[in-house]
Chains A and B, each alone.
Chain A
Amino acid sequence: MDVGAAPRVQRKAVALLSGGLDSLLAARMMLDQGIHVEGINFFTGFCVEGHTHAVRKDRQRRVVRNNALHAASQLGIRLHIVDVIEEYKDIVLNPRHGYGAHLNPCLDCKGFMVGKAREWMETHGFDFIVTGEVLGQRPKSQRRDTFPVIARESGAFDRLLRPLSAQLLAPTLPEREGWVDRERLLKLSGRNRKPQIGMARAQGLDYAQPAGGCCFLTDANYARKLRDLWESRGDRRYDFDDIMLLKIGRHIRPRPHFKLIIGREEGENRFLEGYRHRFIHLFAADANGPIALLQGEAADEDLMLAAAITARFGQARHAESVRMTIVRPGADAQQRMVPPWPVDRFPREWYL
């Protein structure tokens, strides 16, 4: 026995876990090399995390769960979910590297998240950061020329390890120091996900397959609604409730100065009811139908129009007139009889 040898220090890595397959595999590879791994996940408010499923009653039969947490559970590692809603605004509103196809500031976002992980690593005495990035997989952020940008702008530099593509990249500190064995890392590149799917299957790992991307900012409809919100306010800003409400209901803008958010089913109506104290809201007094929140300014004739539109989505849509309840926050409810807006003459351009 080598009496003089110092005990081998177990190195610690913080792994960005999105809940998707790549980050799950990257963390798994580190565990397999004897690294102590803890997961970190950032909640920006735009994450696709089953919110619409959680809200919509008709979809509740699906298993609702947080994907990153599910990944951590399978790996048996701790997961730190961090609320970055406030700080993230600057990334969405002022991305240095611009947007992707929609309002997704992917390169800035990656730099921000790795930067937050770097801060966490330093505070908690960890040694390096692991991500599931794959060279060439995403056109904007996962390229040979953007990988160094993320490493530099996050301040992580060579403490940032991408195990899935590591053999195609310059050796990082954990590899050079022998904390991890570079030979056991991979050289995946491109958009083909078959190798990852095969690895997951071989290891019996279950993972989420978000369609399109990890956040709503990559979604064309969502981005259109967010742009509309900014235009209507004449100001590019948002708060948490704004971005949550963009995920829920039908959004209809019949006039430049106001829009309606109309529940599509019971779960959404219940969710929208939670905002009654903040917005003018409308619903049918004597018939089944949705609740509508009115965002913006509304004079009396606007309220009549809003009531007619809301009535059009209720059960009494074919009635001659419907009694609608209209409530301004802090004021008494008023009731008005209105003819529902004719179903066959509903202007398509009102839909956001």
Chain B
Amino acid sequence: MPHLDARHLLCPMPVIRVSEQLRDLAAGTVLTVACTDPGALYDIPAWCRLEGHEVMESRVEPSGEIVIVIKVHA
């Protein structure tokens, strides 16, 4: 399963990295993104909604790390 490490990147770099990576992934592929900027919790799902990608899960780990699971839209 593809994974994107966007930890230690600040807004809007996590969104930029997600958009770059999704461009190369086939529809239906699931991408897991790890981030540390709390803004990503709002920004990545907001961006996915506009693009039609499905956010399957977003959670904050006890360490504070944010994990967002995205399914690439058809």
Contacts and interface: CB of A to CB of B under 8 A. Distances in A.
Contacts of A166: none
B15 A274 contact: no
10 contacts: A50-B11, A60-B38, A65-B39, A65-B46, A68-B12, A69-B43, A81-B19, A81-B47, A83-B16, A274-B8
Nearest to A248: B10
B15 to A, nearest CB: 6
Interface residues of B, number: 18
Interface stretch (A72-80, A97-105, A177-185): A72-80
Interface of A: 41, 43, 47, 49-51, 54-55, 60, 63-66, 68-70, 72-73, 76-83, 244, 271, 274
Given A49-B12, A69-B12, A77 B50 contact: yes
Interface in B19-72: 19, 37-39, 42-43, 46-47, 49-51
Nearest to B7: A274
A79 B47 contact: yes
Interface of B: 8, 10-13, 15-16, 19, 37-39, 42-43, 46-47, 49-51
Contacts of B10: 49, 51, 54-55, 244
Given A64-B11, A64-B38, A274-B8, A43 B16 contact: yes
Contacts, number: 66
B12 A66 contact: yes
A64 B43 CA distance: 9
Contacts of B37: 54, 64
Pairs of residues from A and B, 4 with the lowest C-beta to C-beta distance, nearest first:
A64-B39, A65-B42, A66-B43, A54-B37
Contacts of A79: 47, 50
B28 to A, nearest CB: 20
Contact of B39 (A43, A47, A66): A66
Contact of B11 (A51, A77, A80, A82): A51
A49 B11 contact: yes
Nearest to B19: A81
Nearest to A55: B10
A245 B17 CA distance: 21
A271 B11 CA distance: 14
B38 A43 contact: no
A55 B38 CA distance: 9
Contacts of B38: 54, 60, 64
A69 B16 contact: no
A51 B40 CA distance: 12
A47 B47 CA distance: 18
A271 B37 CA distance: 10
A83 B15 contact: no
Contacts of A82: 16
B39 to A, nearest CB: 4
A79 B42 CA distance: 15
A66 B8 contact: no
A43 B15 CA distance: 11
A82 B16 CA distance: 7
Nearest to A73: B46
Contacts of A69: 12, 15, 43, 46-47
A271 B49 CA distance: 29
A274 B37 CA distance: 13
Contacts of B46: 65-66, 69-70, 73
A263 B4 CA distance: 28
A64 B15 CA distance: 14
Given A64-B38, A66-B11, A83-B13, 20 more contacts: A43-B13, A47-B12, A49-B11, A54-B38, A60-B38, A64-B39, A64-B42, A65-B11, A65-B39, A66-B15, A66-B39, A66-B43, A69-B12, A69-B43, A69-B47, A72-B50, A80-B19, A81-B12, A81-B15, A271-B8
